[in-house]
Amino acid sequence: MPTQSRPLGFLSAPPKADPVPAEKVATLYRSLRWRVFAGIFLGYAGFYLIRNNVSLVAAILKENGLFNTVGIGIVANAVLFAYGLSKFFMAMLSDRSNARYFLPIGLALSAVMNLLVAFVPVLTASVGVFAIVMFINGWFQGMGWPPSGRVLVHWFSTNERGWMTSIWNCAHNVGGAGVGVIAAWALTNFSKDEADWTPAFWAPAIVALIVALIAFILIRDRPEAVGLPPIEEYRNDPAKVEAADSEGSSWKEMLFKHVLTNRVIVLLAVTNVFVYTLRYGVLSWIPVYLTEEVHGVNIKEGIIGFAIYEGAGIVGTLLCGLVSDKVFKGWRSGAGLLFLGGVGVALAFYWLLPNTAPLWMFYMLIGVIGGLIYGPVMLIGLQAIDLSPRNVAGTAAGFTGLFGYLLGATLASSGVGLLIHYFGWNVTYGTLLCVVVVSLILMAIVGKDERRLMEEHKLRQQEAH
């Protein structure tokens, strides 16, 4: 086999291996598919153990006079801002890299940054320095989604990818719920005093390092690299969008043609801005809202609300995947519209619930909002990899993430922090309800284009048979 250029060194995607004997293909495929899926599930969950732990300790930072809500919002936003940039730019590397190396390296580097935050006080002495450190952490965080999307698009074909993506997408809920539990446990057992927030950083980081090693052991880049045929050939299931022909085209040309000027991908990216504003506009401020506005709630009970939001997303994501397949017959936007409407109703009740109501009622509504919002979050990522050529799928998903985190998460952290600080909670939640309305309008526009592409895909399948 001729030597192939490896422009990214050891990170480069491995070349095709010699084909395995035909009688071994089915057995090896079954074994490796579940193995690599477990690797990206655990690996991506690991990123959420150490993504933005500032939100967990926001109430501690505020009550002890370390930072006000504006400062907390700036630091939290630095992570999300960097993550949005990285998810796009690192995706362009990931589409040409070995997922087995790319994901674990990013997770390990992010864990190291969280350990530094916990054990080097000078790094958190001011808002500016803390924000810079968390920006770096956010950049490493961008090395999680793209290789996971690469694995999904190469190891699972079109007619099974919706369900498998919905299961994989639960990884961030597992990680999000896990960090709430780990942080609450660590703060209870290892905090030196009420102002010591550092266990919420170093304990999850240690777990993340272990997860990075496990992910490295499990993940393989793509079927062809281990001598297997492409997934479309193996399952006789052609892709909705054919792989882009890279012969004679530079990566820049492919980027502009298949991502930056692709109407559906651009529409998905804009929709993602408002979906992420809702996701983080509620999630990031749960501990602060509960401890400030609900009678008798302490910091640890506020953190449990954060964990409930993430944990409920597991059920909601799976339900959304099922509804989009069975009820809407693969029309993902239909399920997105249904779930976003539910978010609006639950958010209104959460806002208007009296602050003397029992804590379990707030927890219940937090769970409903979290369960519903993660459906559209999952769907947009799925649509991006499903409606773009597989050799630029990670970049397409990264592009939607760029908008979601760069703009949506900015609005949710710094923007919501400013609203809370200057106008209070009523104006804040009223604004978030307006965001729900805009999200519904954009999702409906995306839905029209998605139906058109589904019809074109159906015609191609009929012609093929």
Q: Quick one: pLDDT at residue 200?
A: 93
Tens digit of pLDDT for each residue in 367-379?
999 999 989 988 8
**Residue 110 scores a pLDDT above 80:** yes
Task: Give the number of other Cβ atoms within 10 Å of residue 146's Cβ.
Answer: 30
Q: In the prediction, which pLDDT does 2 show? A: 42
- pLDDT average, residue stretch 339-345: 96
Q: Answer yes or no: is pLDDT of 460 > 60.
A: yes
Q: What is the mean pLDDT of the chain?
A: 85
Of all residues in the chain, the percent with pLDDT exceeding 90 is 35
Distance (Å, rounded) from C-alpha 460 to C-alpha 465?
9
Angstrom distance (rounded) from CA 420 to CA 59: 14
Q: What is the pLDDT of residues 197-206, one digit of tens each?
A: 999 999 999 9
Interhelix angle 69-94/416-423, rounded to 10 degrees, is: 170
Q: pLDDT band for 243, please (50, 70, 90 cuts).
A: low
Please compute the mean of the pLDDT values over residues 93-120 and round it to a whole number. 93
pLDDT of residue 158: 73
| Per-residue pLDDT reduced to its tens digit, 146-169 | 899 889 888 988 777 777 888 898
Ranking 35-44, 135-144, 384-393, 438-447 by mean pLDDT, the lowest is: 384-393
Give the C-alpha distances (Å, rounded to integers) separating 110 from 11, 183, 347. Answer: 18, 17, 32
pLDDT at res. 3: 43
Q: Does the pLDDT value for residue 403 go beyond 90?
A: no
Sequence letter at residue 331: W
What is the per-residue pLDDT across 284-298, written as a single tens digit (0 to 9) for each? 788 788 887 776 777
Average pLDDT over residues 173-200: 88
Sign (positive or negative) of CA dihedral 319, 321, 322, 324: positive
- The model's pLDDT over 323-339, given as tens digits with 9 standing for 90+, comes to 887 888 778 889 999 99
What confidence tier does 244 reach under pLDDT thresholds 50, 70, 90? low
The reported pLDDT for the residue numbered 449 is 86
What's the chain look like in SS3? CCCCCCCCHHHECCCCCCCCCHHHHHHHHHHHHHHHHHHHHHHHHHHHCCCCCCCCCHHHHHHCCCCCHHHHHHHHHHHHHHHHHHHHHHHHHHCCECHHHHHHHHHHHHHHHHHHHHHCHHHHCCHHHHHHHHHHHHHHHCCCHHHHHHHHHHHCCHHHHHHHHHHHHCHHHHHHHHHHHHHHHHHHHHCCCCCCCCHHHHHHHHHHHHHHHHHHHHCCCCHHHHCCCCHHHHHCCCCCCCCCCCCCCCHHHHHHHHHHCCHHHHHHHHHHHHHHHHHHHHHCCHHHHHHHHCCCCCHHHHHHHHHHHHHHHHHHHHHHHHHHHHCCCCCHHHHHHHHHHHHHHHHHHHHHCCCCCCHHHHHHHHHHHHHHHHHHHHHHHHHHHHCCCHHHHHHHHHHHHHHHHHHHHHHHHHHHHHHHHHHCHHHHHHHHHHHHHHHHHHHHHHHHHHHHHHHHHHHHHHHHC
pTM of the model: 0.76
Q: CA angle at residue 171 from 165 to 173, to 5 degrees?
A: 115
Q: Which pLDDT score is estimated for 287?
A: 79
- The answer to whether 39 touches 219, Cβ cutoff 8 Å, is yes
pLDDT at 37: 96
Residue 310 has pLDDT above 90, yes or no: no
Residue 176 pLDDT exceeds 60: yes
Q: What percent of the chain has pLDDT over 70?
A: 93
Which of the residue ranges 1-5, 166-170, 265-269, 294-298 would you say has the lowest mean pLDDT? Answer: 1-5
Q: What is the pLDDT of residue 427?
A: 92
